[in-house]
């Protein structure tokens, strides 16, 4: 079993470390490629929505109806699907956000912020950056669960979901890096806090392995899959698609969404 968890854990780690791409873009890029970010976030949403409804929700339904009967299995699938959405909604409701960690941020803000930060109290900026990092870390934890469980069942699905979440984590890395750099003037501090926010992803995978794996019966697996599907749908509609619209034009985000679905459909056909 230990060898089976290496790939799922590495995929969760890869998705979490994508926040560092956002950190790098913040200090290397001269300008924000809004259209590329918009398309990429739309693509990520398309992958996650398609996978959640076509594969993961369906897998949960099949497992639960086989083990609990048709009517009861369907009911439990739907209940746990919405429970996954409720989990993320509760996190959104109770985790404080100084500014919105999913709001569009531009790399141009770094240079602008160097001049503006003199007019803003640095402790307030640091608090905003740290709280943004905490909010993102808490959001990343269930995403790590989703990546780990999907990859455990089907490595192809795991790779697709990890890639989609990694794209989603890039703007989050920008959102953490900018205020920390404003407040401290230190790229090193911005790097470490951004890294820690991303490491919540593999932490979610690790906790899943330590807590869930000893009790992983087919019924538990089906319930977890339903929860994962709900988490992915909520993330797509609450974070990815709004972010895609903020960074670019409506149609670019939509083209990304459709492309993500098409790519995922094709990959499932080819690697089924």
Please indicate, yes or no, if residue 17 is contained in any of the structural domains: yes
For residue 177, give its domain range: 2-267
Sequence-separated contacts (24+) of 149-155 with Cβ below 8 Å: 149/8, 149/208, 149/224, 149/225, 149/228, 150/8, 150/51, 150/56, 150/228, 151/7, 151/8, 151/11, 151/12, 152/4, 152/5, 152/8, 153/59, 153/221, 153/225, 154/55, 155/7
Please indicate, yes or no, if residue 272 is contained in any of the structural domains: no
Please indicate, yes or no, if residue 199 is contained in any of the structural domains: yes
Please indicate, yes or no, if residue 256 is contained in any of the structural domains: yes
Compute how many other C-beta atoms are within 10 angstroms of the C-beta atom of residue 251: 10
Q: What's this model's pTM, rounded to 2 decimal places?
A: 0.73
Contact 149, 228 (CB under 8 A): yes
pLDDT tens for each residue of the chain, 272 residues long: 455 788 999 999 999 999 898 888 777 755 556 677 778 778 888 888 888 898 889 989 999 999 999 999 999 999 999 999 998 888 777 765 544 445 555 555 555 544 444 444 456 667 666 777 777 787 788 888 888 888 887 888 888 888 888 887 887 787 778 777 777 778 888 899 889 989 999 998 998 888 877 777 888 888 988 998 998 898 888 877 777 776 666 788 888 889 989 988 887 777 65
Please indicate, yes or no, if residue 114 is contained in any of the structural domains: yes
Please indicate, yes or no, if residue 56 is contained in any of the structural domains: yes
Please indicate, yes or no, if residue 25 is contained in any of the structural domains: yes
Q: What H or E segment, with its residue span, contains residue 232? A: helix 218-235
Please indicate, yes or no, if residue 197 is contained in any of the structural domains: yes
The total number of structural domains in the chain stands at 1
Q: What H or E segment, with its residue span, contains residue 252? A: helix 250-271
């Amino acid at each position: 079993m230990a060898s089976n968890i290496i790939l799922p854990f590495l995929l969760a780690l890869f998705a979490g470390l994508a926040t560092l791409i956002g950190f790098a873009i913040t200090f290397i890029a001269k300008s924000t490629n809004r259209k590329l970010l918009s398309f990429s976030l739309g693509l990520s949403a398309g992958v996650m929505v398609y996978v959640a409804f076509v594969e993961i929700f369906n897998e949960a339904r099949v497992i639960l109806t086989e083990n609990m009967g048709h009517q009861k299995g369907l009911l439990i699938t739907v209940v746990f699907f919405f429970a996954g959405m409720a989990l993320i909604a509760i996190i959104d409701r109770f985790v404080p956000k100084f500014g919105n960690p999913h709001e569009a941020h531009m790399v141009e803000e770094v240079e602008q912020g160097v001049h503006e930060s003199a007019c803003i109290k640095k402790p307030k900026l640091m608090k905003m950056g740290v709280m943004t990092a905490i909010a993102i870390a808490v959001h990343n934890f269930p995403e790590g669960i989703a990546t780990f469980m999907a990859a455990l069942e089907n490595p192809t699905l795991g790779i697709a979901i990890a890639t989609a979440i990694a794209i989603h984590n890039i703007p989050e890395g920008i959102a953490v890096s900018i205020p920390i750099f404003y407040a401290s003037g230190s790229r090193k501090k911005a790097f470490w806090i951004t890294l820690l926010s991303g490491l919540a992803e593999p932490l979610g995978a690790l906790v899943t392995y330590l807590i869930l794996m000893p009790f992983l019966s087919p019924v538990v697996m089906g319930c977890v899959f339903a929860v994962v599907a709900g988490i992915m749908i909520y993330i797509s509609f609450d974070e990815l698609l709004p972010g895609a619209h903020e960074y670019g034009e409506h149609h670019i985000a939509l083209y990304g969404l459709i492309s993500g679905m098409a790519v995922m459909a094709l990959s499932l056909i080819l690697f089924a």
